[in-house]
Amino acid sequence: MRAYLPKPVSDDVLSEVMVAARLAPSGANLQPGVFVCVRGTVRQKLCQDLILAWREGRQEVEDYDYFPKPMPMTLRRRQVAAAQALYGALGVARDDRTGRDAQFERNFLFFDAPVALVVAMPYDFGAGGYMDLGMTLYGLMLAAQAKGLSTCAIGAMASYPSVIRHHVGLDADTKVVCGMALGYADPDAPVNQTRTTRSALDDYFKVLG
Ligand X SMILES: Cc1cc2nc3c(=O)[nH]c(=O)nc-3n(C[C@H](O)[C@H](O)[C@H](O)COP(=O)(O)O)c2cc1C
Residues that bind ligand X (CB under 6 A): 2, 82, 107, 152-156, 178, 194, 196
Nearest-approach distance from CB 145 to ligand X, in angstroms: 11
| Residue (of 99, 122, 107, 102) closest to 168 by Cα position | 122
Residue whose CB is less far from ligand X, 108 or 174: 108
Nearest-approach distance from CB 112 to ligand X, in angstroms: 13
Q: Are 177 and 121 in contact, with CB atoms under 8 Å apart? A: yes
Q: Is residue 181 helix, strand or coil? A: strand
Residue whose CB is less far from ligand X, 40 or 198: 198
Nearest-approach distance from CB 83 to ligand X, in angstroms: 9
Nearest-approach distance from CB 178 to ligand X, in angstroms: 5
SS3 for 42-96 is: HHHHHHHHHHHHHHCCCCCCCCCCCCCCCCCHHHHHHHHHHHHHHHHHHCCCCCC
Residue whose CB is less far from ligand X, 159 or 174: 159
Could you give the CA distance from residue 103 to residue 108 in angstroms, rounded to a whole number?
A: 10
Residue whose CB is less far from ligand X, 151 or 174: 151
Q: Which residues contact 32 (CB under 8 A, 6 or more apart)?
A: 26, 121, 122, 123, 125, 129, 132, 133
Residue whose CB is less far from ligand X, 11 or 196: 196
**Phi and psi of 93, rounded to 5°?**
-75, 160
Q: Which residues contact 208 (CB under 8 A, 6 or more apart)?
A: none
Residue whose CB is less far from ligand X, 54 or 174: 54
Nearest-approach distance from CB 10 to ligand X, in angstroms: 25
Nearest-approach distance from CB 85 to ligand X, in angstroms: 7
